[in-house]
Structure 1
Amino acid sequence: MSSKRVLVLLAPGFEEIEAVSVIDILRRAKVKVQVASITEKEDVTGSHNITLKSDVRLEFIDIYNDDYDLVYLPGGVPGVNNLAASEKVLDLLRKYNEDQVLIGAICAAPWVLEEAGILKGHEATSAPTFEEKIHPEKYAHEVFVRSGNILTSRGAGTSMEMGFSLLEALGLEEDAIRLREDMQYNFLLDKKGK
């Protein structure tokens, strides 16, 4: 079991692929993933009407005493609107950013980082429809971008790469290499490239 701890924030209307793919990849690498609902309910329904059961509600996370190596935000609309409307979410992001905890956001979720004021001075990417809504130091048209402690990716189609890249950012490169092979991701890329 890895000693790494990851907090995944789920809001109603989250993008299911972006949440489940990353959670699955991290858990396959034995990372302790805690899925937190930002609402008063443990069950959170995504933008395509798939419901996930969270491990904990955000109200029970103590941002001053609970240590995580990474905080991850899936995108999805209206999920990102709900994340950005939560002062607890924004406070958590600001505090963990101040502590240089890794913060990952995919698709529309980099906009939540923008709302928290933590994209300044960073390079980032997002879903193309959110490019004009975020104002990093530099916008990158890349699958995955790491800029200091800020990790961003573009959308549902890049979710698996996001999961593997998060493992690498956590220092679990060997797990990322193994899972890319075991999950047939390398095979897919090889076949698509031919």
Structure 2
Amino acid sequence: MIYVFIADGFEEIEALTVVDILRRAELTVQMVGVSSKTVRGAHGISVLCDILDSQTDLADIEMIVLPGGMPGTLNLEKSPVVQAFIQYAVERGLPIGAICAAPSILGHLGLLDHKTITCYPGFESQMPLANYTGSACEQDGNIITGSGAGTAMEFALKLVEHLKGKERAELLRAAVGYQ
């Protein structure tokens, strides 16, 4: 199971592009509402999530994804459930995807120290020991980071590549007409 955690103030493009592309890749994905099943995005779009954070199961995860946006990122970081999932994924070497401002959550935990990462410009200061590139997407081990809403498709395809291989990601890229 892939859990995409969504909190009030999330960046809609980052969350929904990831969910859409992962589902097109025939991966099992659940949108997890942090504190509420209906979550309002940073640009006023409300989304009905599949499940509440209280309905998640640690033993069930294959990957977690943290969309950015403000104050969505801050709301994700405050969530004890999100923190527990991050810790669980790290302890088991499971992949974590974070885009835009959300890599700062991992940075505050020291998980990005000496890792090659990207994030929304300006947030690299929250991860002073990381090797910030400013690229659209980076992968260092099991941590995949994206720089923002405009790179959500590239980020989502990198997640697919990590889970299903480069060939599957490239087929999906072609199928949706993404150059």
TM-score with structure 2 setting the length: 0.94
Q: What residue in structure 1 maps to residue 114 of structure 2? A: 121
AA aligned opposite 1:37: G
Q: What residue in structure 1 maps to residue 49 of structure 2? A: 54
Runs of 4+ aligned structure 1 residues displaced above 3 Å come to none
Give the whole-Å Cα distance in 2 for the aligned partners of 1:179 and 1:134.
Answer: 32
Q: Percent identity?
A: 39
Give the whole-Å Cα distance in 1 for the aligned partners of 2:53 and 2:125.
Answer: 29
Q: Give, in angstroms, the shift of residue 52 of structure 1.
A: 0.9
Give the whole-Å Cα distance in 1 for the aligned partners of 2:10 and 2:29.
Answer: 17
Give the whole-Å Cα distance in 1 for the aligned partners of 2:139 and 2:28.
Answer: 22
Give the whole-Å Cα distance in 2 for the aligned partners of 1:37 and 1:49.
Answer: 16
Gaps of 5+ in 1: 187-194
Give the whole-Å Cα distance in 1 for the aligned partners of 2:56 and 2:92.
Answer: 16
Moved more, 172-181 or 101-110: 172-181
- Compared with structure 1, are the counterparts of its residues 107 and 14 closer, same or farther at alpha carbon in structure 2 (3 Å cutoff)? same
Q: Give, in angstroms, the shift of residue 183 of structure 1.
A: 1.2
Give the whole-Å Cα distance in 2 for the aligned partners of 1:88 and 1:9.
Answer: 10
Q: Give, in angstroms, the shift of residue 90 of structure 1.
A: 1.4
AA aligned opposite 2:20: D
SS of the equivalent of 1:170 reads helix
Structure of higher CA gyration radius:
1
For these two proteins, the number of residue pairs brought into alignment is: 179
SS of the equivalent of 1:128 reads coil
Q: What residue in structure 2 maps to residue 80 of structure 1? A: 73
Give the whole-Å Cα distance in 1 for the aligned partners of 2:130 and 2:121.
Answer: 17
Give the whole-Å Cα distance in 1 for the aligned partners of 2:164 and 2:20.
Answer: 18
Q: What residue in structure 2 maps to residue 13 of structure 1? A: 9
Moved more, 10-19 or 52-61: 52-61
Moved more, 94-103 or 137-146: 137-146
